[in-house]
């Protein structure tokens, strides 16, 4: 400390230690906040078609188009340390030989839901709204471009007959007539500082586990007649990076 | 003449402070940064906004730099008492080496 330079070095060094300690405190303080997520997920329709599911597919294979309805309240997952919540719905089903081959899990839909004070990002989810009328005021226009329904908070999802973002295939190329499939809602809370946490179904301390958010279904047989092209479209949201095929 | 200017620049960049001042500066740094860290966390927690933690933390650190780094006069209130300069001829003070008094003159 005998020198201006050494004083600068010492102050900066201690500042980094203090910053690290404050970040650790912020990360741990998340445990004290209570979470009460709730969700209800229903399958609306599932179609299995043979064709080329992706623009890069080189051969025809069976793929499934799963439409669903979701009514979820993930707003309590947003505490002061939440930057964004990544919500996603997967379809999982057991393999042909469950003893040796684990089950398959494919993502059907996902959404990046930022917290209110997170900076603007072109890939954040834009919640679909029922009314197609043009917005009249600036307030209306802004409320339609959010990751949550107008008038609600981040984490509220009200989707009815939602088209999937991704069409799913099986590694073997055959996905028709598979049984014991489940549609499940998951989430990943991405903090400003600290550990990533995924969805929990068990209650841990003040964090309630999620009940519901699951729907069992079976993959139907291959569609005999030609499925209509419009029925097989995926959700091309207004967010810039769309799921394929865009 | 150029030497005087360079000497002034050197003193400015060195920012020397005495030992008591260094002790005070280090204590100020520790207290100030701990207070800044605790305050930043509390402000963010109470307002439920991480950005406030960041602003208070960075602002408080800037203030700590201003308090601790420049050689303020309060850090120079206990200057080291150097012994008086050596005089020519017989020594002004006693230097005793191995039980024998020696002078500043080299022995022949």
Cβ contact A183:A215 at 8 Å: yes
ipTM of the complex: 0.83
Query: Is A18 a residue whose pLDDT tops 50?
Result: yes
CA dihedral over A195, A199, A202, A207, signed as positive or negative: positive
Domains of chain A, residue spans: 33-238
pLDDT, residue A96, reads 87
pTM: 0.83
Query: Is B104 a residue whose pLDDT tops 70?
Result: no
pLDDT, residue A238, reads 63
> Of the candidates A11, A26, A193, which has its C-beta nearest B68's C-beta?
A11
What residues of chain B lie within 8 A of the CB of A116, using their CB?
none
pLDDT, residue A246, reads 44
Q: What percent of chain B stands above pLDDT 70? A: 87
CA dihedral over B46, B49, B50, B54, signed as positive or negative: negative
Distance from CA of B47 to the nearest CA of A (A): 9
Least confident of A38-42, A95-99, A169-173, B92-96: B92-96
- Please tell me the distance from the alpha carbon of residue A178 to that of residue A172, in angstroms, as a whole number: 12
Cβ contact A223:A65 at 8 Å: no
What residues of chain A lie within 8 A of the CB of B37, using their CB?
18-19, 21-22
> Of the candidates A5, A10, A192, which has its C-beta nearest B29's C-beta?
A10
> Is B16–A25 a contact, with Cβ atoms under 8 angstroms apart?
no
pLDDT in tens, B19-60: 999 999 999 999 999 999 999 999 999 999 999 999 999 999
Query: Is B91 a residue whose pLDDT tops 60?
Result: no
pLDDT in tens, A156-208: 999 999 999 899 999 888 998 899 999 999 999 999 999 999 999 999 999 99
- Please tell me the distance from the alpha carbon of residue A172 to that of residue A157, in angstroms, as a whole number: 34
Query: Is A76 a residue whose pLDDT tops 90?
Result: yes
Give yes or no for B41 touching A (CB within 8 A): yes
* CA dist A81 → A26, A140, A147, B106 (Å): 7, 29, 18, 73
């Amino acid at each position: 400390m005998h020198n201006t330079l050494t004083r600068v070095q010492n102050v900066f060094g201690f500042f980094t230690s203090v910053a690290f300690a404050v970040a650790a405190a912020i990360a741990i303080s998340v445990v004290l906040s209570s979470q009460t997520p709730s969700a209800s997920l229903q399958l609306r329709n599932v179609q299995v078609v043979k064709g080329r599911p992706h623009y890069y597919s080189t051969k025809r294979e069976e793929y499934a188009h799963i439409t669903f309805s979701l009514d979820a309240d993930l707003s309590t997952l947003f505490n002061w340390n939440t930057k964004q919540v990544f919500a996603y719905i997967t379809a999982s089903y057991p393999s042909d030989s469950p003893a040796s081959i684990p089950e398959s899990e494919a993502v059907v839909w996902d959404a990046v839901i930022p917290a209110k004070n997170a900076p603007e990002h072109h890939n954040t989810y834009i919640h679909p709204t029922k009314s197609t009328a043009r917005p009249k005021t600036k307030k209306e226009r802004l409320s339609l471009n959010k990751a949550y329904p107008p008038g609600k908070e981040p984490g509220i999802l009200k989707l009815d007959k939602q088209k999937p973002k991704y069409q799913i295939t099986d590694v073997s190329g055959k996905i028709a007539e598979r049984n014991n499939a489940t549609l499940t809602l998951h989430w990943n809370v991405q903090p400003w500082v600290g550990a990533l946490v995924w969805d929990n179904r068990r209650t841990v301390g003040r964090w309630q586990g999620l009940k519901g958010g699951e729907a069992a279904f079976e993959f139907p047989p291959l569609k005999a007649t030609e499925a209509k092209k419009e029925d097989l479209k995926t959700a091309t949201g207004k967010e810039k990076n769309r799921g394929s095929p865009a | 003449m150029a030497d005087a200017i360079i000497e002034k620049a050197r003193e400015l960049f060195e920012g020397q402070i005495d030992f008591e001042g260094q002790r005070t500066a280090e204590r100020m740094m520790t207290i100030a940064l701990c207070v800044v860290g605790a305050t930043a966390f509390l402000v963010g927690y109470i307002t439920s906004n991480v950005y406030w933690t960041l602003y208070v933390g960075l602002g408080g650190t800037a203030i700590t730099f201003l308090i601790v780094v420049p050689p303020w006069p309060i850090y120079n209130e206990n200057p080291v008492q150097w012994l008086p300069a050596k005089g020519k001829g017989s020594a002004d003070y006693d230097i005793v080496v191995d039980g024998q008094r020696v002078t500043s003159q080299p022995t022949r």
